[in-house]
């Protein structure tokens, strides 16, 4: 079993790992590649940089620094977190038990630009299968996405809902394993409903030939739409566990970067506020030290 698993290898995640390692812990860092730093062409407002660096260069330096200290870093796609004391971190490379978790994957909540999806949030559009599956017992539901995250959410729902279908919104399926969940690969035109979601309206393959006509495209009746586009971000996984989120969807933490779940911490962009490297490094350091204290305290209590 791991003592500390850090999800994310950006400034917050690597900072947490460095402080945990220097506190004589052996953290495991799990990441799925560079995040928001990839969009930073130049970083020049960070302490100690004589010359500007690109976000990619800073990211690679952080990874190299961690590896030089012997910190274990594994690349895998996060799918979710289960259980409590210990936690089970589920990835495309397997599952790992841990006493403590630090979320540091940034803010990745993705809302596709589909008409009706924003308006129906809380009325049948959800971003967490584990949280809301209970409300769709025996009902037909849709999962929106085309990767392993969507597949994971669909399989969670399949245990409770009536029928589950993955809608890829015209994108090619990109699953890493075989599965039996039905797929619909047509482009989505809109999410339908008034007080509650009633269905998904699709574009027909030959929709362009019918341009200018008043004929409506087919609608697939569903009671719920679960958005699982791209990969699971920190807020997605924290929400699955029952961690408190702010109105803006950020993970709520205290002054020690602790969430409302004992042993679970968060740092960086996923906590909101100033989205800067300086803040991420500061919060990562705090989260790393807090996780170390938590693990040590629990080990003493277990004796």
Beta bridge partners of 200: 191, 220
- Of 102-106, 159-163, 235-239, give the lowest mean pLDDT range: 235-239
The pair of three-digit structure tokens given for residue 95, joined into one six-digit string: 């599952």
Residue 59 has pLDDT above 80, yes or no: yes
Q: What are phi and psi of 108, to 5 degrees?
A: -125, 15
Q: Which CATH number, 3.40.605.10, 3.30.70.1170, 3.50.50.60, 3.10.150.10, labels domain 2-108+233-302?
A: 3.50.50.60
Over residues 250-289, the pLDDT tens digits come to 899 999 999 999 999 999 989 988 888 999 999 999 999 9
Question: Whole-angstrom distance between the N-terminal and C-terminal Cα of the chain?
Answer: 17
Give Cβ neighbours of residue 228 (< 8 Å, ≥ 6 apart).
127, 129, 143, 144, 145, 149, 150, 152, 153, 154
125-227 has which fold?
FAD/NAD(P)-binding domain (3.50.50)
- Of 35-49, 134-148, 150-164, give the lowest mean pLDDT range: 35-49
Q: Which of the 8 DSSP states describes residue 251?
A: B
Q: Within 13 Å, how many C-alpha atoms sit on residue 287's CB side?
A: 36
Over residues 151-203, the pLDDT tens digits come to 988 998 999 999 999 999 999 998 988 899 999 999 999 999 999 999 999 98
Do 250 and 270 meet the contact criterion of CB atoms below 8 Å apart? Answer: yes
Residue with token string 């709520």: 252
Report the C-alpha gap between 111 and 226 in whole angstroms. Answer: 11
Spell out the alpha helix ranges (H) of 94-215: 129-132, 148-158
Do 88 and 157 meet the contact criterion of CB atoms below 8 Å apart? Answer: no
Which residue intervals of the chain bear CATH 3.50.50.60? 2-108+233-302, 125-227
Report the C-alpha gap between 58 and 139 in whole angstroms. Answer: 48
Residue 214 has pLDDT above 50, yes or no: no
Spell out the alpha helix ranges (H) of 115-204: 129-132, 148-158
Q: Within 13 Å, how many C-alpha atoms sit on residue 139's CB side?
A: 19
Report the C-alpha gap between 119 and 100 in whole angstroms. Answer: 36
> Helices (H), strands (E): how many in the chain?
6, 15
Closest CA to 129 of 161, 102, 177: 161
Beta bridge partners of 90: 80, 95
User: What is the predicted pLDDT for the residue at 280?
Assistant: 94
Over residues 65-98, the pLDDT tens digits come to 999 999 999 999 888 888 888 999 999 899 999 9
The helix (run of H) or strand (run of E) holding residue 296 is: helix 277-302
Report the C-alpha gap between 141 and 196 in whole angstroms. Answer: 13
What does each C-alpha distance from 238 to 34, 77, 154 come to in angstroms?
20, 16, 18
């Amino acid at each position: 079993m791991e003592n500390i698993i850090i999800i994310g290898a950006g400034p917050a995640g690597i900072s947490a790992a460095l402080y945990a390692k220097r506190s004589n812990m052996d953290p495991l860092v799990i990441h799925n590649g560079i995040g928001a730093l990839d969009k930073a062409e130049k970083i020049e407002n960070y302490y100690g940089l004589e010359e500007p660096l690109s976000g990619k260069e800073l990211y690679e330096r952080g990874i190299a620094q961690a590896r030089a200290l012997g910190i274990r870093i594994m690349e895998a796609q996060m799918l979710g977190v289960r259980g409590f004391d210990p936690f089970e971190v589920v990835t495309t490379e397997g599952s790992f038990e841990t006493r403590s978790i630090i979320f540091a994957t940034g803010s990745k909540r993705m809302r596709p630009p589909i008409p009706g999806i924003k308006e129906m949030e809380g009325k049948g559009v959800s971003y967490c299968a584990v949280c809301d599956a209970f409300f769709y017992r025996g009902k037909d539901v849709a999962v929106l996405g085309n990767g392993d995250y969507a597949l994971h959410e669909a399989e969670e729902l399949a245990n409770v809902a009536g029928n589950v279908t993955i809608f890829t919104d015209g994108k090619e399926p990109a699953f890493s394993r075989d599965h039996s969940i039905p797929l619909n690969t047509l482009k989505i035109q809109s999410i339908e409903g008034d007080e509650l979601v009633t269905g998904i309206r699709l574009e027909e393959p030959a929709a362009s030939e019918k341009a200018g006509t008043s004929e409506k495209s087919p609608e697939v009746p569903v009671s719920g739409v679960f958005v699982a586009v791209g990969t699971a971000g920190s807020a997605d996984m924290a929400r699955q566990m029952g961690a408190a989120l702010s109105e803006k969807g950020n993970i709520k933490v205290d002054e020690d970067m602790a969430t409302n779940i004992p042993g679970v911490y968060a740092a960086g962009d996923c906590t909101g506020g100033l989205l800067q490297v300086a803040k991420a490094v500061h919060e990562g350091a705090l989260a790393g030290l807090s996780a170390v204290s938590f693990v040590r305290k629990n080990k003493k209590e277990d004796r």
